[in-house]
């Protein structure tokens, strides 16, 4: 779960980046 806070931090700046990272994490 250490990676989740990092992704959430980016979500505030770039939603598109989060969606991209979300797909990568899912894979």
CA 12 to chain CA centroid, nearest Å = 10
- List pLDDT tens digits, range 1-27: 455 555 555 555 667 777 777 777 765
DSSP state of 12: T
Q: Is the pTM of this model over 0.85?
A: no
Q: Position of tokens 């980016």?
A: 10
Note the pLDDT of residue 7.
56
Note the pLDDT of residue 25.
72
Domain count, the chain: 1
Note the pLDDT of residue 19.
74
Note the pLDDT of residue 21.
72
Pair 18, 7: CB distance under 8 Å: yes
Note the pLDDT of residue 9.
56
Domain extent at residue 25: 1-27
């Amino acid at each position: 779960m250490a990676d989740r806070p990092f992704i959430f931090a980016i979500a505030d700046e770039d939603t598109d980046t989060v969606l991209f990272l979300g797909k990568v994490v899912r894979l």
